[in-house]
Structure 1
Amino acid sequence: MKIEIWSDIACPWCYIGKRRFEDALDGFAHKDDVDVQWRSFQLDPNLPDHFDGTETEYLSQMKGMPAAQVRQMFDHVTQQAAAVGLNYDFDSIVVANSFTAHRFLHFAKTHGLMSQAKEALLSGHFEKGRDIGDIDYLAEVGREIGLDPDEVRRVLATDEYSDEVRSDISEARSLGANGVPFFVIDRKYGISGAQPAEVFTQALETAWDEGQKLTVLAGTPQSAGSDSTEEFADGAVCGPDGCN
């Protein structure tokens, strides 16, 4: 079974969804037969390399969201993150474009280390206030997971893996994903948003048992492109205008 997960490093629900999915996968009887592949997505491709301000200021100034609404959203997301063992610190987040970090993830993938890199960057961004747009930081993460930091710097000083990132984003759009996280099982079942672990468990078991039979797993199906993927509705998701 192949599960592709489209997500953005700058998406708070993506990290929560990762934890919930991992909880479900850990209890899945066939987990050793599951191939998890991380795919790139950008919530805000037009974000400058760095924004000189806080995450609250960015959403307020650039997205037109009232500061009080932003803080309320952050409080809610922080509580949900804590429930899965994550310690979010929105006040310390460095607001940076995630494209370079996605290129780093694709480079890590060539060494079989994309999952480790993904975890490190999400934690760095949301829990530790690290700068995901800084090549020196990405080289540091590379060293920590077993990559040559000098090679990381060389790759990221070029445009290598840019096409791979753009291809992932384009493919997500073709499948009907307008927000992330977005999970696709065997190009047949789609799960939108950071659903509860129980929903992921149901999806894994149903997809395994049903084989090639197309089944609506939960919610109201929505078209997800030419691959006839069915999508779960109403999961918590981040989109271009913010997170719910």
Structure 2
Amino acid sequence: MAFRVDIVSDVVCPWCVIGYLRLERVIDRLSLKEPVEIHWHPFELNPTMPQQGMDLYQHTFEKYAATSDASERSRLSMATLGKELNFFFNFSTSMKIYNTRKAHQLLMWSAQFGLQYSLKMALFRAYFTQSTDVSSIENLREIARTVGLNPEVATQVMQDETWENAVAVTEQQWVEAGINAVPAFIFNQKQVLIGAQTESTLTDVISTINM
């Protein structure tokens, strides 16, 4: 029987990157007897974000009342943590935050092909490392192609209201289940952890559940 991990996250959430990469390290270190199944689920930090996006520093100030200095310190800290996990955060003063609904539509669709992990990591790198607009159909289509998804079908999925509604319904279900911040990790549908946990905490939780 597989060890199941459900992860609720957004592709423009830096702590989701850090949290997942820490989890990946722990799973590799523990060498679990059972195969590990990772299932990614949608959560939009900014579901009403306009399609053209918004300046990240302005957004951070308006949403969290964080000053420029505080935002810069936070990003420097995240960049340092990223380096420790072999992930490059390329924060800049011109960086924008984007609407991620279409990206989540692709992620939901990609699960049936076993390419959800590849797409999720490609989206993380596209946004945080390459400063790519991850709300753009053209950009998302190319990212989908690079991980082995059919770009023509990917475009149809992004333009399909059925997939859009499926993402919205799924997000609402997680909110109703008590998930109101990300990343959220659900282990074997038993234990829930919110936030980018330390490797020590993740090790303790997984080891306890897997006893």
Common fold by TM > 0.5: yes
Using the size of structure 1 for normalisation, the TM-score is: 0.79
Q: Secondary structure at the match of 1:27?
A: helix
CA distance, structure 2, for counterparts of residue 171 and residue 31 of structure 1: 32
Cα pair distance change 1:23/1:49, threshold 3 Å: same
CA 1:32–1:61 in structure 2 vs 1: closer, same or farther (change >3 Å)?
same
* Mapped pair 1:95 → 2:94: no
The aligned counterpart of 2:79 is 78
Distance 2:142 2:169 in 1: 26
Distance 1:74 1:155, change over 3 A: same
Shift of 1:31: 5.8
Q: Return the structure number with greater relative CO, CA threshold 8 A, min gap 6.
A: 2
Match of 2:118 in 1: 116
- After superposition, residues 1-244 of structure 1 pair within 5 angstroms as 1-30=3-32, 32-53=34-55, 55-61=56-62, 63-91=64-92, 93-209=95-211
What's the secondary structure of 1:90's corresponding residue? coil
Q: Is the 8 A contact 2:51 2:135 kept in 1?
A: yes
Over aligned residues, Cα RMSD in angstroms?
Answer: 1.7
User: Which structure: greater helix fraction?
Assistant: 2
Q: Secondary structure at the match of 2:210?
A: helix
| Amino acid across the alignment from 2:80 | Q
Query: 1:127-180 CA deviation, whole Å, 9 max, x = no partner?
Result: 111111011111111111111111111221222322331233223223322211
Runs of 4+ in 1 over 4 A off after TM superposition: none
Deviation at 1:51, TM superposition (A): 2.5
CA distance in 2, matches of 1:117, 1:152: 12
CA contact (8 A) 2:158 2:164 kept: no
In the alignment, residue 29 of structure 2 is paired with which amino acid? G
Whole-Å separation in 1 of the counterparts to 2:14 and 2:150: 29
- The one-letter amino acid of 1:144's match is T
In structure 1, give the amino acid aligned to 2:20: K
The two structures have a TM-score, normalised by structure 2, of 0.91
| Aligned CA distance change for structure 1 residues 123 and 189 (closer, same or farther; 3 Å) | same
Change (3 A) 1:170 1:98: same
For residues 54 and 8 of structure 2, what CA distance do their matches in structure 1 show? Answer: 28
Preserved CA contact (<8 Å) 2:107 2:120? yes
The sequence identity of aligned pairs, in percent, is: 25
Superimposed CA distance per residue, residues 30-51 of structure 1 (whole angstroms, 9 cap, x where no aligned partner)? 2642221111111111211123
